Structure 1
Amino acid sequence: MTEPETEPTNAIDVIVVGTDGSSDAQAAVAFVAGFARQLGCRVLLAHAVGLLENIDPDGATGPAPSMRELAETLIDTDWAEPLRKAGVDFETVVEDGPPVLVLPRLAAAHRAGLIAVASHGRGQASVLPLGSTAHGLVQSSETPVVVIPVRG
């Protein structure tokens, strides 16, 4: 019997966490902050600039600079605060596209071992067990996904 050249590892070195700044998303960021501190891993805090943020009231399409700039400011300040408080190594990124495509792409690019999201994001009713982003990620992501449930 031949021994494997390297032992398989289940270590998680990077976690991608998606946020839209909602209270539920921020609860997911806080959960990931504590989890990452325990594991000693790095966090990539990500926001996907989605369709509604890409609609210009004057009819032009593409990322609306003011919305993107606001997201870039918020992700670096308020939205990252739980990670900063936990003292974990993190970086932030704002990418164009739907989160169900952006988050797995970022996970692959950063070799993340886990994607984390809230069960529901901004503007999603919690009548269903999962919002569209969480549901889409669970259905399609090749990277394992943890969904943090909405409380209340």
Structure 2
Amino acid sequence: MNADAARDQSSIDGASLSNPVVVGVDGSAEARRGMLFAADLSTRLDVELVAVHARGLLERIASGAGSGRSEAVEALETNCLAVLSEIDGLRWSWKVEDGAPIDVLLRVADEVDAGFVVVGSHGAGHSDEPLLGSTSHWVVRNSHRPVIVVPPGDNHPHHRRPFGAGGSLMGGGVADH
């Protein structure tokens, strides 16, 4: 039997299908889409979902002493917990950690030996980058684990229109010769 045939059936190209799924949550609609996708994936794989929020400098300042929980984080937690609690068969945990979102997501993914990291394509920072926001971009570039980027909803300003739609290369707005 060759090495490929002997490979563990619970992994695909290094992604463990039996390890937790880590998802970044920041309160944005795109992060919520990512969380729901990650919850569905976790349920289908029968693995734990670890929802992670990175509490940055501005949140720590707003909370006062620097180590307390801000009202925004508490509201985010309440909202996420309510959504995740409603999903039948989902095993999940919630983490709020200090630091930059990229660092926190990758650190938690390593701590729990995540099979996948899930992020929304754009988050609360609202990057002008049309394809990926800065956090999703850097997580993809720096993770040694498989990363799933969940695209924005149809109403998001960065949602790609099909060719031929107004303003695209092939129609609507292109002068006919």
TM-score class, shorter: 0.7 to 0.9
1:80-135, Cα deviation, whole Å (9 max, x unpaired):
33322222000100000011111111011111101101001114045521111000
1:38-117 to 2 correspondences below 5 Å:
38-55=44-61, 63=66, 65-67=68-70, 70-72=72-74, 74-75=76-77, 77-87=78-88, 88-117=90-119
User: Over the residues paired in the alignment, what is the CA RMSD in angstroms?
Assistant: 2.7
> Which residue is equivalent to 1:17?
23
Q: Secondary structure at the match of 2:86?
A: helix
Higher relative contact order structure (alpha carbons within 8 Å, sequence separation ≥ 6): 1
Work out the percentage of aligned pairs sharing the same amino acid: 34
1:25-47, Cα deviation, whole Å (9 max, x unpaired):
11111111111111111100100
User: Stretches of 4+ moved more than 6 A in 1?
Assistant: none
Alpha-carbon shift at residue 147 of structure 1 (Å) = 0.6
What TM-score do the two structures reach when normalised by structure 2?
A: 0.71
* Larger CA Rg, structure 1 vs 2: 2
Alpha-carbon shift at residue 48 of structure 1 (Å) = 0.3
Distance 2:44 2:2 in 1: 35
Change (3 A) 1:21 1:89: same
What TM-score do the two structures reach when normalised by structure 1?
A: 0.82
Structure 2: stretches of 5+ with no match in the other structure:
12-16, 156-177
Structure 1: stretches of 5+ with no match in the other structure:
none
> Which residue is equivalent to 2:137?
135
Higher helix residue share: 1
CA contact (8 A) 2:127 2:134 kept: no
Q: Letter of the 1:65 partner, please give it.
A: G
